[in-house]
Structure 1
Amino acid sequence: MPLHLSAHPDVELTADCSRCFALCCSALGFERSTDFAHDKPAGQACRNLAADFSCTIHARLRGEGYKGCTVFDCFGAGQHVAQQTFGGRSWTAHAEVRPAMFAAFPVVRQLHEVLWHLDDAARLAGSSGSVPPQHASSIAALVSETVSLTRLDPAGLDAVDLDALRARVGPALSAVSGAVRTAAGGRRIPRRLAPGADLLGADLAGQDLRGADLRGSYLIAADLRGADLRWVDLLGADLRDAHLHGADLSHALFLTPMQVAAASGDSRTRLPDRIDAPSSWNT
């Protein structure tokens, strides 16, 4: 479902490939791995890209060895760069914009990811009743600032200090997370379930994890079937191949479509309203 930034309805946070120029398939690079069947340097079009910017193997990406393509999400940055930053000029018809467009896309993509998380925090602040006003105000100011950065021209985007922005956004998100998780009143969380924890392949099936802070944790191939993950902070958590069958993530904090697409789940998996179940899941 299309998602717009709640405070700025004109800002789209859902990718619309029909209004992009396949920037994820051309501007970005990748290395041959279990996620990609071949090497592709940044700035070079993928060998599977058609002249009309469609993917010639889109219907069978995973079968052809391109799982990474099915997981990637630009959070709406592709159409923003294509249609707003460059006014609808494609890098094929207007070769002169190619270098600047390819440089702008990864910057805007990161800004849109920041906006995804800030929007989550803003929605939480507006609905939970547990977030202090000063934290809500801080989030609102950061939203406005980040939106203004996405509207810079190519030269301005090239000068954006993403690290400095994240250094201010991170604590703001943590403050909202702490307030919401405390109010959720979940059970006492084991000490091993902490930010950045190594939970590779961990057996957490059926566990009540409400209110846990698993920010940046390694949950690769973890068994989370039937687990209660409501109000769990999953910012930056690695959910590759995690088993989410029947798990409740309906109120998970800072969860992204990329994390969900990297995991496996089913029709019983409950996701936040703004995230659709991936087509790769067996439902």
Structure 2
Amino acid sequence: MSYASILTVLTGADDDALTLASAAELARTAHGQVSVVLAPPLAMFGNAAQDPNGLGVPPASREAAQNAQAELRRGVEAMAREVTGQSSPGVESDAGRIVFVEEQSAHALDLSALAPFADLVVVGRMTLQALGSWSGLMTDALLRAQVPVLVISGARGELGLGAAIAWNGSPAAARAVRAAMPLLKAATRVVILQDPAHLRASERVIAAPERLVAYLRRHGVSEIEVESRDGLSRYDGLVRQARSWDAGLLVAGAFEHSRLREDVLGGVTKSLIVHGRTLNLFLAH
């Protein structure tokens, strides 16, 4: 698998440039394309201004929204020119190209028409945290289209460092591993993190780390370690142990509990997004 069709959402957050550069680098490797959705937080006022009744939006608010949209587009276009100008000699000029496909409101983001044709969604952690765990980005990409999401938190070079896999044998965790294979193969080493106390007896056979090790080796991943200990089903344990192995990437299944349970009790996925500031996250549902 490769990431020839990458979708990214930019909102004017401080990590937009890092997100766009990371997406372009991955697309360039696959000789593919990055499709950019601009979603400024104030765009809903600009949309409302098109209504004949104006929906009661004050002129100053409409002007502010329009200025925010224009400023975001100018800034991202400048980022795109800089990123595409950084291609290494010998790389096809069309590889990793960046195109603008949509402009939407961050408050009503709808990726339902775009996500099914993406191999990967790349988003900055600051943008995702601002949009929310149950935003259109997460529900349309992860939950409906089942497209993996790469959450950029650190420097681009960290994607080539060690990688950690949060492994419980679930279908979501397995999908995450399969989708993340290009990144896992590029990692200097891979560590499998598992909390045996969190597994039911019926789950332990399919979740046996040895089975995952064999699968990874069939795909050419050779430097593999296994760490099995209590606490590795919680976000804090995962983050701490991943970084202790010098991992720049954590691969995990996402939203494995119901929305009600996630909302009431919180969940590992949401906590990783909020607190995993030092890790790039690769999530699949």
Structure with greater strand share of residues: 2
Same fold (TM over 0.5): no
Task: Between the two structures, name the one with larger relative contact order (CA 8 Å, sep ≥ 6).
Answer: 2
TM-score normalised per structure 1: 0.27
TM-score normalised per structure 2: 0.27
